[in-house]
Amino acid sequence: MNFLIDLLQYPFIQRALISGIAISLCAALIGVILVLKKYSMIGHGLGEVAFAALALALVLNLPEIYIAIPIVIIASFIILIISQKQGESGDITIALVSAGALAFGVIITSLTNGFNIDVYNYMFGSILTMSTSDVIISVCLSILLVIVYMFFYNRLFMITFDEKYAKVCGINVTFYQFLIALFTALVVVIGMRMMGTLLISSLIVFPAIIAKKLTHSFKGIAVMSVCISILCFLFGLVISSLLNLPTGASIVMVYIGVLLFSSIWKKVIG
Amino acid sequence: MNIIEVEDLTTTYNGHTAIKNISFKIEKGEYVCLIGENGSGKSTLIKTIVGINKKDSGKIIKNIPPEKISYLAQNNMIDLNFPATGKEIIMTGVQKHKCLPFYKKEDYKKFADVCKLLNIEDIINKQISDLSGGQRQRIMLARALIRKPDLLILDEPCSGLDVNITKELYNILNKLNKEDGLTIIMATHDLEEIKTIGVRVICLATTVKFDGDIKDWKGEM
């Protein structure tokens, strides 16, 4: 316990804690919609796009996050538009975009310095290196997302459950789809510093999948996902600090443990 | 007064013309059933009227505000494993212009009324995956009725449901039409049920083949 209290004295741990909680909250909220709309893989696909954007930013010696944000937002809109206009299923479009982006990123990286420490950090996450500006961005994003989620809750629920009915009711479904795509892109870009481009999708999908096993209402899943996400993040951060393991990977292992436990719990309790 | 007027409507679906040059008018309080074989264009016409499908040409004139129109899709059109309770789903029906996750007293009153009408008080807190097909469809009908529509549009609401549940749903719809004056447009295959009610039928085979009282309709589908 003393070890944990000592850890909290370090500014880099404080920054990791604040931004980690903020990002976990955002990822859990957006994850509920994506998982229930069967767009679970979009986080993974956009993670690959973020990797390509980062590789480009490093080559051009430009600020990574400011290059990645617009590129990932555009990619999420492209995925949405192709899925809708051409009748492709969401997963096929995500697979095509992510494969192309990954190939682009690998070529750019290999043509320059190769997989240096910056690229490695973004691929696998480095929450302990988060700056004050990262903390401010992630806290602002989480506040904005919570406000938008609360304000549009009923419409987001309608669109997630029954898009066609929402359309019949006169709701601008396309606007809300773009809103979801926009927030997904922002969560991916800001969360990749914590989890890495390869593991960011786990932060989005695991809380909703676990919560879906434990509760039966949409509101219940939204609330429980946020709680699970923040608790798993804290537990993962503690484990990684105690055992000197990578934080992103530790959080994923905690999620897997909780998922297994919740599956057994559901089977036993019914 | 005509509640809806369809003029020379043509819609293409998946590359082929699903309905062609369809025209009809429906008066307030009418009970109209769209009949025809599979692929005759019933669902396409319904979806074009409610705005899910885009029309290629023609006009659809609705003489009532959009919030007074409600829609019930086929029984198998929802994700059965979606984690939502009956109550959550029904309440979305009152949310035309509302966003926040809060409801007014009058919304709860409408909710209680529609639950009583459809006799679903004991299932509203269950997850939809735990309900039978008939119970689920009553929940979806409650969502359509909670906004107290003047026009209810249904797309084969009883497909996949057993005979008793089908009879029960038809009785409810008939009561709503006769007692409350609700205008109903419904795509259906259940000829026996609608014969007993006595409705206007529009028989489709891409174009309109018959339009009149079911008693005068002699054709086969």
Residues A127-136 pLDDT 10s: 877 888 889 9
Task: Give B220's pLDDT tier (boundaries 50, 70, 90).
Answer: low
Look over chain A and give the mean of its residue pLDDT values, rounded to a whole number. 87
Tell me yes or no: is domain B1-64+150-159+185-221 CATH 3.90.198.10: no
Helices (H), chain A: 2-7, 11-36, 42-60, 64-85, 90-111, 117-124, 132-151, 153-161, 163-168, 173-195, 200-214, 218-243, 247-269
Contacts of A165 in chain B (CB under 8 A): 71, 73, 92, 143
Q: Chain A: residue nearest B48 by CA?
A: A168
The residue type found at A252 is V
pLDDT surpassing 90 at residue A31: yes
Residues B138-182 pLDDT 10s: 899 999 999 889 999 999 888 777 888 888 888 889 999 999 899
C-beta atoms of A36 and B50 within 8 A: no
Q: Chain B: residue nearest A211 by CA?
A: B83
pLDDT score of A205: 94
Best mutation target among A158, A169, A172 (most B Cβ atoms within 10 Å) is: A169
**Lowest-confidence region among A24-28, A43-47, B25-29, B56-60:** A43-47
pLDDT score of A73: 92
- What's the rounded Cα separation, in Å, for the pair B41 and B35? 9
- CB-nearest partner of B51 from A152, A167, A216: A167
And the tokens for A65? Answer: 């996050």
Rounded (to 5) percent helix, strand, coil in chain B: 35, 30, 35
Contacts of B67 in chain A (CB under 8 A): 169-170
pLDDT surpassing 60 at residue A201: yes
pLDDT surpassing 90 at residue A221: yes
C-beta atoms of B71 and A168 within 8 A: yes
Contacts of A209 in chain B (CB under 8 A): none
Strand order in the sheet with B151-155: B69-72, B151-155, B183-187, B31-35, B200-205, B207-213
- What's the rounded Cα separation, in Å, for the pair B14 and B37? 18
pLDDT score of A117: 63
Residues A95-139 pLDDT 10s: 888 889 889 888 888 877 666 666 777 777 778 778 888 899 889
Percent of chain B with pLDDT over 90: 48
C-beta atoms of B52 and A167 within 8 A: yes
C-beta atoms of A150 and B79 within 8 A: no
Contacts of A155 in chain B (CB under 8 A): 95, 99
pLDDT surpassing 60 at residue B221: no
C-beta atoms of B92 and A164 within 8 A: no
pLDDT score of A228: 96
Buried b (16+ CB within 10 A) or exposed e, B118-152: bebeebbebbbeebebbbbbbbbbbbbbbbebbbb
Best mutation target among B92, B128, B139, B155 (most A Cβ atoms within 10 Å) is: B92
Residues B81-140 pLDDT 10s: 889 999 999 998 886 556 666 778 888 899 999 999 888 999 999 998 888 888 888 899
Contacts of A221 in chain B (CB under 8 A): 83
Residues A38-95 pLDDT 10s: 888 888 888 889 888 888 888 888 888 888 889 999 999 888 888 776 665 667 888 8
> Which ipTM was obtained for this model?
0.84
pLDDT score of B27: 93
Centre a 10 Å sphere on the Cβ of residue B43 and count the other Cβ atoms it contains.
21
Q: Chain A: residue nearest B81 by CA?
A: A36
CB distance from A152 to chain B under 8 Å?
Answer: yes
pLDDT score of A270: 65
Best mutation target among B60, B68, B78, B88 (most A Cβ atoms within 10 Å) is: B88
The residue type found at B198 is G
Residues B48-76 pLDDT 10s: 999 888 999 999 999 998 888 999 988 66
C-beta atoms of A212 and B83 within 8 A: yes
Task: Give B23's pLDDT tier (boundaries 50, 70, 90).
Answer: very high
pLDDT score of A88: 55
CB distance from A175 to chain B under 8 Å?
Answer: no
Report, as an integer, the average pLDDT of B24-28. 93
pLDDT surpassing 90 at residue B26: yes
pLDDT score of B185: 95
Tell me yes or no: is domain A20-269 CATH 3.40.50.1000: no
C-beta atoms of B78 and A36 within 8 A: no
C-beta atoms of A153 and B99 within 8 A: yes
pLDDT score of A115: 61
Size of interface A-B (CB pairs under 8 A): 77
